[in-house]
Amino acid sequence: MKRLGRFLLTLLVAIAAPAMALAQTIEPVRPGDRTLGSADAPVTLTVYLSTTCGHCADWHTNDFPAFKARWVDTGKVRVAFRDLPTPPQQVAIAGAVMARCAPEEKYDVALEALFRGQSRLRTQPGPPQQEAVLGWLAAAGQAAGLTREQMNACFSSEASFTEIEARAGQSFADGVESTPSFFINGERVPDEAIAASRAVAAFEPLIQPLLDGR
């Protein structure tokens, strides 16, 4: 509980401080990023997500499958995922911990389960109840092949939460303020470029010229 309190205090300070300039470029892939696709892909899509973000869930469950088939499965794009917990932050942090507890090759499976299971958290008004959160987390862990013992060990580790706190802090340092946010080869995708849609077609004019210019 103390570690969550420290994170929330940091978050409140960040919100109260003057807004930092939005980063226009970032490292496409950093050590510790969970990735999907070939490391040799010429294009990297860096995505900042929160496990409690409804827009993230909509993109990942409805639009990402076509994106993955079009770009990732063909070896043209590698996707790097980064954490930026959004309200309720405690729940988002727990979701991020669960996803990163999964084997790296199952990270996207756990993430998908968390996004599809968000309805578990909204069965009644107010903050999600503990039982609902535990069921949500357990379903994601089971989807990724984790045993109950493995899940318990992960959530008992201080390092699991420290890692998410550090990654969230880096996301704030990158100037990212909302989720989902996208960068292509380290360059920020302007909000207006995907304002109408985040479907695979919206990324075509952003990605194809990079492939044509190789």
CATH code (residue 84):
3.40.30.10
- Specify if 26 maps to a domain: yes
**pLDDT of res. 8:** 40
Structural domains counted in the chain: 1
The range of the structural domain enclosing residue 35 comes to: 2-204
Please choose, from the candidates 41, 80, 81, the residue with its C-alpha nearest in 3D space to the C-alpha of residue 207. Answer: 41
Walk along the chain (214 residues) in steps of 10 and give the mean pLDDT of each run: 42 39 79 96 98 96 97 97 94 96 96 95 76 95 96 93 94 93 96 88 95 81
Instruction: Enumerate the β-bridge partners of residue 38.
Output: none
**183 within some domain:** yes
pTM: 0.87
CB-based contacts of 65-70 (< 8 A; 24+ apart in sequence)? 66/199, 66/200, 67/200, 67/203, 68/36, 70/200
Instruction: Count CB atoms within 10 A of the CB of residue 195.
Output: 9
User: How much is the pLDDT for 103?
Assistant: 95
In a domain, 209, yes or no: no
CB 155 within 8 A of CB 138: no
Q: Is residue 85 part of a domain?
A: yes
Q: Which pLDDT does position 98 carry in this prediction?
A: 97
213 within domain boundaries: no
Using only the alpha carbons of the chain, give its radius of gyration.
17
Residue 210 lies in a domain: no
Residue 124 placed within a domain: yes
Is 157 within a domain? Answer: yes
Rounded to whole angstroms, the Cα distance separating 171 from 92 reads: 14
**In contact, 34 and 80? CB cutoff 8 Å:** yes
Going by C-beta distance under 8 Å and a sequence separation of 6 or more, which residues neighbour residue 101?
110, 141, 144, 146, 150, 151, 154, 155, 160
Cβ proximity of 76 and 43 under 8 Å? yes
Q: Report how far residue 214's alpha carbon sits from residue 209's, in angstroms, rounded to the nearest whole number.
A: 9
Residue 180 identity: P
